Structure 1
Amino acid sequence: MYTTHGLLFEVDRDGDNFFMELKAIGKLTHQDYEQITPLIDDALEGVANPKVNVYFDGSEFEGWELQAAWDDLKLGLKHGKKFHRIAIYGNQRWMDIVAKIGSWFISGEVKCFDTPFDALAWLREE
């Protein structure tokens, strides 16, 4: 059986303000983070005080392999102070876990939403 997994990533920048959209598919692996981490690092490189809002679509997320969970932790420790808001939509089983763990390592707010519309609306507030 073939299992699809991966992270889709898109970033928009306006000055020091960033909007990142991530979609997790399947069970994430170390290789997924080897691909996505340099993209996030490059996007934020050279920006002294970035304000990053993230929309995380976990509707097809099924968890992490052990090494991928460690990679996710390292990414949060490296960039956690740069995140302003993270809106999580998707798989209810994982949403609360991701939000709770994420809130330990980022300085901004993390909230879970039942619809993508509500998640995106919250990110656009202010």
Structure 2
Amino acid sequence: MSDSFHGISIGTERRQNDIYLTLTLSGKLTHEDYVTIMPIIEEVIKTVKSPQVYALIDAIDFKGWELRAMWDDFQIVLSHSHEFKRVAIYGGKKWHRLAALIGNWIITGEVKYFRDKNQAILWIENKS
């Protein structure tokens, strides 16, 4: 993978008032990546009166953020902190575990780090 390749892929699914997001982060994210993805996330969340969001973040190919993109990410988390029920961060770097720890300070739900994607999925679906 080239170092210049970056972006966020998103999958969404709704089950009654539960929203499941799958986010795959690649490369070093930019502000433009967030400008592209935010309207999708906002639209999905506002379709439910009292949403509970379950997110799986695949960070295996994630290399970090540009400064403005980090601020964008922080704003998303802050503005929807009370709607996140569970966030699983799947990755392979030590700082991914730190990101999960920091996430627990910010959102009202649970954030947990996983090295195994299947375990992350089971946890999101509340089966483990």
TM-score bracket relative to the smaller structure: over 0.9
Q: Which has the higher helix share?
A: 1
Preserved CA contact (<8 Å) 1:81 1:106: yes
* Misfit runs of 4+, over 6 Å: none
The residue that corresponds to 1:9 in the other structure is: 10
Deviations 1:80-102 (A, max 9, x none): 11000001111323312321222
1:104 Cα deviation (Å)?
2.3
Structure 2 gap ranges (5+): none
Instruction: Using the aligned pairs only, state the percent identity.
Output: 38
Deviations 1:38-90 (A, max 9, x none): 11100011422111110000000000000000000100111111000001111
TM-score, reference length from structure 2: 0.92
SS at match of 1:84: strand
Q: What is the CA RMSD across the aligned residues, in angstroms?
A: 1.4
The residue that corresponds to 2:73 in the other structure is: 72
Preserved CA contact (<8 Å) 1:61 1:94: no
The residue that corresponds to 2:34 in the other structure is: 33
Say how many residue pairs are matched: 126
- CA distance in structure 2 between the aligned counterparts of 1:2 and 1:79, rounded to whole angstroms: 30
Preserved CA contact (<8 Å) 1:88 1:95: yes
The residue that corresponds to 1:104 in the other structure is: 105
Structure 1 gap ranges (5+): none
